[in-house]
Amino acid sequence: MTLLDSIRAGERGILVSGIHLQVIQSILDFDYLSGKERSILGIVAGGRKSVKLFWGPEEFLMPCFASFADVPEQFRAQVRFLLNVQSGRRAYESTVAFFEAFPEAYGAHIFAENVPEASATMLIEQYGKTKVIAGPSGVGFVVPGLLKLGAIGGVDATQLWTNKLMTSGSVAVVSTSGGMTGELINAVAGADKRLSFAFCIGGDRFPVTALSEVLKLAQEDPSTKGIAYFGELGGVDEYEIVELIKSGTLTKPVAAYIAGIIDESFEEHVQFGHAKALVATNDESARAKREALRACGVDAPDTFPEFLEALKKLPGADHKDVPVDIAPLLSRRSSILSTREIIDLKSIPVFVAEGKLVTPETGFMSAVTGALLGRPLTSPISQAFFEAVATLLIDHGGNVSGAVNSMITARAGKDLVSSLVSGLLTIGPRFGGAINEAAGLWLTGAQGGLSASEFVTLETSGGRVILGIGHKKYRVGMPDPRVAALSEFATLLDSHPHYDFARSVEAVTIGKNGSLILNVDGVTAALALDILSECEGYTRSELTALKDAEFFNALFILPRSAGFMAHILEQKRNDEGLFRLPDNLLYTRPAGEE
């Protein structure tokens, strides 16, 4: 079974060594558009545990491993290829480490340029005859609809679609140049033909897999009917084609373009882009190579437009393009931080139904609340209420300021306590610290003799806001489900003056703005006052003392600390590395602007 047979049989698992997000994402997009499962199993890169990428329109976290030995057992049996995007000086050791860890793997692509020639020759000695390795210095290889190993064929969805990489065909593209591999793939699609596979050998002086081996792969492949080849001045690769044809090893038609005739215009030979693109002897010139290829029957025209016409003459089986919708991939935007929903606000528990407690069990929060008050809670209603408050206030998503602070600090490598403290220090009148102030307002309003309208006018004079009223997300017609759940506790009480006053204030404020609803801070404060008063016997002066000691803010700080820690621990599990705000989300004022 040849390499292509194995790939077509579904053996396509890739490990990546190093991080090159654009190339990695292009492979995932190829897989998605081809209707296949993800071929990339993970990334070997120290210093992090995951990298954020897209699968189709949705983000996900790709796992990272510290070394090849750390790849989990569930992935190991699937590994067949290495995508090595390490630097030139690290390419050799990382490639060897991969094949030592996965000796049954089929091959690799070494992306880096300037791999030391001594390293390249050692790779040839070790793997040149047993593995298929594209590079160094190239874009990899692709088998349409099945495997894309490298940047080959494009790095965005539009290029993948334009190059028809999801539909298999009959023309093999082979080239030393990464850029020209892309041009040939596009030219084949423009000639209304499709690829059987494409392979970029690499532009460095010593590619690991020789041109002759790739051409033999094309010859043995039943799907390949013709070969499109791009070469250039320097080196003797093209004479391998000549020898294969003369020996009868290569019988399939070849269209070739050899670049670099311009070298003849200079007094001395010029070094072009690739390491071996320099004429050392006359037979390495573009002209000599063209003539040698023509002599053995290769269609090797003098100009690139003529070469494009030659592509049209290559045999090509009929094809039906796989339908592809790239639209979902064009409007993606990366999130700033990765987190999960700690509690599901779309599925709020029922605490009170038809005037009866549904969940009267006591627990941790009841004990803690008793400790904060200095005496235990005695009423099942009190116990259930404070448990409900804690349940609903654990988290409100990863985008709130305290959670963001906690996650950014964790991403900086700080410990749990430091990360937690950074989130807690965000709590104040604008975030999470409103329960205590709201309690003070409801204490004053319920006993002060002012109507709700008069109270609102007084409290908002001078531009002040009423804490406990208003929400950024919820509004009239789209209520906060937490407020609705907690409000049911009012049905368990004989009287609830603080809750009634808070609702009367809300009736005034929503007349001014639909977002000025009673929020979870406001309802928690109001009902805590009423429940402590009726169920636990607290006097007005005792409630005022609790407010002065900031007891009511503890009802937020305690559960939200657990939420912050959940986000912190998640960041440490994901370990995406140090967070840096993207430039496009940061406005930098010009010098001198006030």
Residues marked active site are found at 274
Q: In which region does residue 558 sit, left (phi positive, over 0), alpha (psi from -120 to 50) or beta (all else)?
A: alpha
CA distance 238 to 236: 6
Please check whether residue 409 is in contact with residue 579, taking contact to mean a CB–CB distance below 8 angstroms: no
Residues 67-86, buried b or exposed e (16+ Cβ, 10 A)?
ebeebeeeeeeebbbbbbbb
The tokens of 342 are what?
């700690």
Please check whether residue 170 is in contact with residue 223, taking contact to mean a CB–CB distance below 8 angstroms: yes
Nearest to 27 by CA among 9, 13, 39: 39
Residue 42 — φ and ψ, nearest 5°? Answer: 170, 175
User: Residues near 231 by Cβ (< 8 Å), separated by ≥ 6?
Assistant: 175, 176, 237, 238, 256, 257, 258, 259, 289
- Sign of the dihedral through C-alpha 280, 286, 291, 294: positive
* Burial of 397 per CB tally in 10 Å (0-12, 13-18, 19+): middle
CA torsion 327-333-337-339 (nearest 10°) is -20
- DSSP for residue 350: P
The tokens of 322 are what?
């796989």
**What residue type is 292 in one-letter code?**
A
User: Residues near 31 by Cβ (< 8 Å), separated by ≥ 6?
Assistant: 37, 38, 39, 40, 148
CA distance 461 to 149: 66
CA distance 229 to 296: 15
* Cα end-to-end span (Å), the chain: 71
- Strand segments, DSSP code E, in 135-279 are 141-143, 147-149, 171-175, 195-200, 226-232, 254-259
- Sign of the dihedral through C-alpha 189, 191, 197, 201: negative
CA distance 528 to 498: 9
- Strand segments, DSSP code E, in 376-454 are none
Radius of gyration from C-alpha coordinates of the chain: 34
**What residue type is 397 in one-letter code?**
G
CA distance 52 to 335: 9
The tokens of 178 are what?
């990464």
